[in-house]
Structure 1
Amino acid sequence: MPKILVIEDEVAIRRVLIKILTEENKEYEVDEAEDGLAGIEMIRKEDYDLVLCDIKMPKMDGVEVLEASAKVKPDAPFVMISGHGDLDTAVHTMKLGAYDYISKPPDLNRLLNTVRNALDKKELVSENKRLKKKVSKHFEMIGESEAISRIKEMIEKVAPTDARVLITGANGTGKELVAHWLHEKSDRSKAPMVEVNCAAIPSELIESELFGHVKGAFTSAVKDRAGKFETANKGTIFLDEIGDMSLSAQAKVLRALQENRISRVGSDKDIKVDVRVIAATNKDLKAEIEKGKFREDLYHRLAVIIINVPALNDRREDIPLLIEHFAEKVAGEQGVQQKRFSKVAIKLLQEYDWTGNIRELRNVVERLTILGGDEVSEGDVELFASK
């Protein structure tokens, strides 16, 4: 049931607004406040889906209420009520964050449309927040081992900074989870995190993918196109498997890191970018430097902070938690009941040689959820999880 607060010092106008709202929709729960001070106190105590607020009021005017509310309930949408002489102020309040304004005396259709639209926007914002929480859970780091605890502590320290991070570890260990946590816990979390799998992009296309191109730069360049660095502006770019990047692309990435500027393929125009770079690799980059396959100067630019993600074999104490996590996740994805794993089955899985790391464990849990009994037993593990 939508909760609406009407802050209006003129009793007659307040009564008209409440009457219009309650007659339009019986589900609207409408509270009232006779001035700005009373209104902000109610906002502090209650979560309102919408606030209708007069601009000119004694004790505390509408602009002051809007600014005070932004500090205690920043998500509460405001629709300002303006007299004839308050229109400039009403427009100013929209710059301060108000959703819209209506003029006195209130027009029935204008009022109701504005209220419906404001409530729809509030619902959309709430849904986006729920989705963001789901995304965060999707990239949750599971484990309480000493190795994972150290990584979590390091993320807490590093994430709020703009320090570049190089994440190392074998395939399937969860390097991308570390990258997502670094972004989500940073001040850049509201801006995009753009992922680039350097190993999946042909060497002749990697520069265009990273830096964009102008029309006519090459045969298939039929229009201007922004690259990943531009798309990630004000946010984070995650260069996964950077050890597979060509030397020519490495040179351009190095320039971008040194100067915070890039240029599109086929253009000599510089574009300023503000991007935090997180890179990951499953290769020994120092060995790649010795072979002449990776630039040493780029390595030192990227490796300000190094986070090594351990293999699953080195954190076997986390396997029971990971099994429970994946069992719940798989059940939701497959639309089946979550399977319990017997203690013997879990112990047996802890003894496996997980060459494919967490990615392999997740696949095995999915297989056992689909093919195993109501409780996954030792026999199920021996039958369906064998190498």
Structure 2
Amino acid sequence: MDERILIIEDEDTLRESLSRVFTREGYQVVAVNSAEPALELFEEGSFDLILTDIILPGITGIELLKRVKEAAPEQVVIIMTAYASLETAVETLRSGAYDYIVKPIIHEEIKQIVKNALKVRALQKENVLLKKQMGGSYDLSRIIGQHPEILQIIARVKKIVETRSNVLFIGEVGTGKRLIARAIHFSSPRADKAFMPVNLRAIPAGRWEEELFGRTKESFPGSNLTTRGLLEEANGGTVYLNGVELLSPDLQLKLLRVLEDQEVRPVGGTQGIKVDLLVISSSNLDLGDLVKDGQFREDLYQRLKVVTLRIPPLRDRKEDLELLARFFMRRYAKEFGKTIKDLDPQALEQFRGYDWPGNVRELRAIMERASLITGEAVIGPRHLPALVSPA
């Protein structure tokens, strides 16, 4: 790993223990016993995460937190404290801490909270990069196509970005739903806030509730760890829920309460946490049919589908095949340092004769492979997999 962690802890045994734990995990660790040398190190170089005790000799952990956040608002800081109280928690979070953990420190728990924090930081950096790539404006050029349905989607997206309306995508896997969700977010007034993509198919069902809503330390006896959920992490920005039809009835109800009350209630929590979210959801099934079959809540469906966009499969918009194929050809030629100039007409003809069950995602993968293996200026049938090529 390349991530750098700065640990500030005046208790020698704990400082050395944490240093060993995170070094074994592959992090680059710098550990000091007070805030003064920590601030000097912070000014001299960058750290992906700062882990500090709240009570330190001289400058306190809270004061350190405030100075760090004033200099670098994006810096991730986790506070450790031996004195758990609501007042302490509120002060640390209001001062900009990512989270706080109560001593005695349990290694497995603190490793998990650091891992989660760094995941959020990586997402924030990705958001900044994407915003730069998209120009911070209504640049929807990444939505490629001339098919009437695609042009209509682009026109509707331009109107959606100025609203606070939740959006529901209906479309097959690989049709570009996440790309359009990103375009909506990064063309909206929320562009400088988090874009939080959540693919429910990639998360074990048993972890959905904790991942989305977080948990309090009271929810697990003996645990000192409070985990913020992805919905809370996306506060002020956009959450993209891919596979929303998979949610259980209980989680459908919890999500409905988020949309109605703008509050997230963690597992084991008794109080809601206020959030401001734009929710973009997607399904490869028609949620209206699931409502009729009693498999999806109608009230949640109504909340999610304020704006509904149906994304056509690639087989229904084959006039866009050449545009998309050439876009990916140029992209991967540049990425791989190739001098690819054209697509053989026979290759395009084979594309048109194929049904594309994997949609745009499959076309992208085929063009990436073809661009990688070719040493020629033209991509032809011999560079395509047998599935696309005629028998």
Whole-angstrom CA distance in 1 between matches of 2:341 and 2:384: 13
Alignment partner for residue 188 of structure 2, among 186, 189, 204?
Answer: 186
Superposed counterparts of 1:148-297, under 5 Å: 148-218=150-220, 222-297=224-299
Superposed counterparts of 1:365-380, under 5 Å: 365-372=367-374, 374=376, 375-380=378-383
Aligned to 1:133: 132
CA contact (8 A) 2:174 2:359 kept: yes
Aligned to 2:119: none
Whole-angstrom CA distance in 1 between matches of 2:166 and 2:352: 35
Q: 1:254 to 1:354 in 2, by over 3 A?
A: same
Whole-angstrom CA distance in 2 between matches of 1:167 and 1:313: 18
Aligned to 2:389: 386
Whole-angstrom CA distance in 1 between matches of 2:159 and 2:176: 19
Unpaired segments of 5 or more residues in structure 1?
1-94, 96-127
CA contact (8 A) 1:199 1:242 kept: no
- How many residue pairs get aligned? The number is 262
Please identify the structure whose Cα radius of gyration is greater.
Answer: 1
Moved more, 330-339 or 155-164: 330-339
Deviation string 1:33-59 (CA, Å, 9 cap, x unpaired) is xxxxxxxxxxxxxxxxxxxxxxxxxxx
Whole-angstrom CA distance in 2 between matches of 1:381 and 1:133: 34
Which amino acid letter does the alignment assign opposite residue 376 of structure 1? I
Aligned to 2:312: 310
Whole-angstrom CA distance in 2 between matches of 1:290 and 1:382: 41
Whole-angstrom CA distance in 1 between matches of 2:318 and 2:375: 24
CA contact (8 A) 2:131 2:191 kept: no
Aligned-pair RMSD on alpha carbons?
Answer: 2.7
CA contact (8 A) 2:145 2:320 kept: yes
* Cα drift, residue 222 of structure 1: 4.4
CA contact (8 A) 1:368 1:385 kept: no
Task: Look up the SS of the partner of 2:339 in the other structure.
Answer: coil
Task: Look up the SS of the partner of 2:206 in the other structure.
Answer: coil
* Cα drift, residue 384 of structure 1: 7.4
The percent of aligned pairs where both chains have the same amino acid is 36
Q: 1:382 to 1:273 in 2, by over 3 A?
A: closer
Whole-angstrom CA distance in 2 between matches of 1:362 and 1:287: 31
* Cα drift, residue 221 of structure 1: 5.4
Deviation string 1:182-224 (CA, Å, 9 cap, x unpaired) is 1111111111111111222223221111111111413695411
Whole-angstrom CA distance in 1 between matches of 2:222 and 2:389: 48
Whole-angstrom CA distance in 1 between matches of 2:195 and 2:369: 32
Whole-angstrom CA distance in 1 between matches of 2:327 and 2:221: 48
* Cα drift, residue 377 of structure 1: 2.3
Q: 1:252 to 1:346 in 2, by over 3 A?
A: same
Whole-angstrom CA distance in 2 between matches of 1:329 and 1:220: 52
* Cα drift, residue 329 of structure 1: 2.0
Whole-angstrom CA distance in 2 between matches of 1:166 and 1:330: 31
Whole-angstrom CA distance in 1 between matches of 2:385 and 2:251: 47
Whole-angstrom CA distance in 1 between matches of 2:226 and 2:341: 51
Q: TM-score, normalised by structure 1?
A: 0.62
Task: Look up the SS of the partner of 1:363 in the other structure.
Answer: helix
Aligned to 2:104: none
Q: TM-score, normalised by structure 2?
A: 0.62
Which amino acid letter does the alignment assign opposite residue 353 of structure 2? E
Whole-angstrom CA distance in 2 between matches of 1:287 and 1:232: 30
Task: Look up the SS of the partner of 2:198 in the other structure.
Answer: strand
Whole-angstrom CA distance in 1 between matches of 2:189 and 2:142: 19
Aligned to 1:142: 144
Whole-angstrom CA distance in 2 between matches of 1:266 and 1:129: 33
Whole-angstrom CA distance in 2 between matches of 1:159 and 1:194: 17
* Cα drift, residue 235 of structure 1: 0.8
